[in-house]
Amino acid sequence: MRYTMDVQWFFVVRQSLLKESMNKYIWGMVWIFAACRGEVDPPVVVDIEQVDPSGQELVFWYQHTLKREDRLNDLLAEFNAGNVYGISVRGEYAGGYTDIYNKMVVGIQGGILPALVVAYNNQANAYFANGGAVDLAPYMSSVQWGLTAEARQDYYGDFLAQDRFDGVQVALPPNRSLELLYYNADWLRELGHHRPPEDWATFVALCRRAQAVPFSKNGSGRSLGWVLPADASHLASMVFGLGGGFIDEQQRAYTLDSPEVREALLMLRELVVDGALELAFESGEALRNFSAGKVLFFLSSSTGIPHVESAVAAGSGFNWQVAPLPHSTPEPVLNVYGASVAVCRTTAAKQLAAWLFLKWFTEPEQQARWAEASGYFPVRKGAAEHLQAYFAEHPRYEQAFTWLDAGRGEPGVRGYTRVRRLIAEAMMGVIEGEDMDTALADLQQRADATLTQ
């Protein structure tokens, strides 16, 4: 089993390093070609108030498929038919996040870009730095085209801040998700607990107890407290709950060798040694074990709620619930994440038209319909009044919705995609017994180096 784990991890790390090298190469070539043609062209200063967006035809690159894509296209059709400027937005599936990122890198160099593109905040930050995206702050504050004070207050402030760097709003969030603790409530009661653990000591004790006392509906005999992939977001969620973070407030230096990171990794290592935690290497492995009644806890996105519901119904059929992760902070701190939408640098008219679509898309009524179709959370507080029927049908979603104000995001600086892979690599190494001092010192140094590249 150990040999299989090592071989699988070797290929995971090898693939990550190849991707990291390729991304460095691609951006390096962008800057080389930019230098050859006289640096990245500076943006043309235009008075937004004087721009006419009428009749603009826009392309929107996204990663959505199936039901989400259908509902998004319904919303696009509604916007196209209803806006008074004759703006037309055409959605285009452009692959997964990595595919879109690579297409944007090529498009920035070639000068051929969509009007709108789905992007994580660190990706949008890179696009802006390389002349491929625009600052949305002037559009948001525009007298003619911007947000009213009331509308601005209606956005979850922390969500907007995730896409803001040095005063530049590189993108706008259309949705967000939370990292949640999923737990088997029936098994928890069998272990003598009627509430999910709120502190880490109780959580660890329950993981060990679950290993010793299998769930009554578990016929396999294999019993675990927790199954967890080696993933940066999972570690960040734990560190947030311990009162720490991954980067300083100014986002100028990583904090990956902190007491909170050490405490989280030590906790994981001890649970693995005790046999109460196993690392997951296959997609869906944690959910499969959970739905079969073999695992008491697992972490996943709030968008997974409907998938867990159907999997458990088809599996052991127990009562399960969601909760914030345990915490040593006065109140829970949840990892909030998700892709935003950047407006690409094209023409003044297209940029304004793209902003007007984003403004419409993030209004409460549209946000509520998008939330129902996608399983995401809206970014506007006012969407709640339009979601009452959905809340009644999906009580776990409603419960998680109440935790949005407790959300905190991971770093959005350029290069964080590479750092995530470094974190996962260090996480695996420490759990498997590497010296923590050495591993975290190396991680800190390599992560900080990305901030100056």
Instruction: Work out the pLDDT band at 270, boundaries 50, 70, 90.
Output: very high
Structural contact between residues 167 and 173, judged by C-beta atoms closer than 8 angstroms: no
| CA distance readout (Å), 258 to 245, 328, 441 | 8, 15, 10
**What are the tens digits of pLDDT across the range 240-254?**
999 999 999 999 999
Residue 23: what pLDDT? 52
Tokens 């051929």 locate to: 112
Structural contact between residues 44 and 138, judged by C-beta atoms closer than 8 angstroms: no
Question: ∠ CA 401-391-69 to the nearest 5 degrees?
Answer: 80
Residue 102: what pLDDT? 97
Over 70: is that where the pLDDT of 2 sits? Answer: no
Residues 325 and 238: their CA atoms lie apart, in Å, by 7
Name the residue ranges covered by the structural domains of the chain. Answer: 40-176+338-398, 178-336+415-450
* Straight-line distance from the first to the last Cα atom of the chain, in angstroms, rounded to the nearest whole number: 39
- State the CB neighbour count (10 A cutoff) for residue 231: 17
Predicted TM-score of the model (pTM): 0.89
Residue 445: what pLDDT? 98
- Tell me the mean pLDDT in the region 192-204: 98
Per DSSP (E only), the strands in 120-257 are: 164-165, 168-169, 177-184, 224-229
Domain boundaries 40-176+338-398, corresponding CATH code:
3.40.190.10
Instruction: Work out the pLDDT band at 5, boundaries 50, 70, 90.
Output: very low
Instruction: Work out the pLDDT band at 43, boundaries 50, 70, 90.
Output: low
Q: Facing residues of 380 across strands?
A: 155
Structural contact between residues 352 and 116, judged by C-beta atoms closer than 8 angstroms: no
Over 70: is that where the pLDDT of 137 sits? Answer: yes
- Taking alpha carbons only, the member of 123, 140, 197, 127 closest to residue 410 is 123
**What are the tens digits of pLDDT across the range 317-358?**
999 999 999 999 999 999 999 999 999 999 999 999 999 999
- Tell me the mean pLDDT in the region 60-69: 98
Over 90: is that where the pLDDT of 8 sits? Answer: no
Amino acid symbol at 432: E
Give every CB contact of residue 368 below 8 A, 6+ residues apart in sequence. 378, 383, 386, 387, 390
Residue 44: what pLDDT? 61
From 3.40.50.720, 3.40.50.1380, 1.10.10.10, 3.40.190.10, which CATH number describes the 178-336+415-450 domain? 3.40.190.10
Residues 453 and 110: their CA atoms lie apart, in Å, by 22
Per DSSP (E only), the strands in 63-203 are: 88-93, 116-119, 164-165, 168-169, 177-184
Query: Residue 6, CB half-sphere, CA atoms under 13 Å: how many?
Result: 5
Residue 295: what pLDDT? 98
Structural contact between residues 334 and 156, judged by C-beta atoms closer than 8 angstroms: no
- Taking alpha carbons only, the member of 80, 47, 48 closest to residue 146 is 48
Structural contact between residues 70 and 91, judged by C-beta atoms closer than 8 angstroms: no
**What are the tens digits of pLDDT across the range 208-266?**
999 999 999 998 878 999 999 999 999 999 999 999 999 999 999 999 999 999 999 99
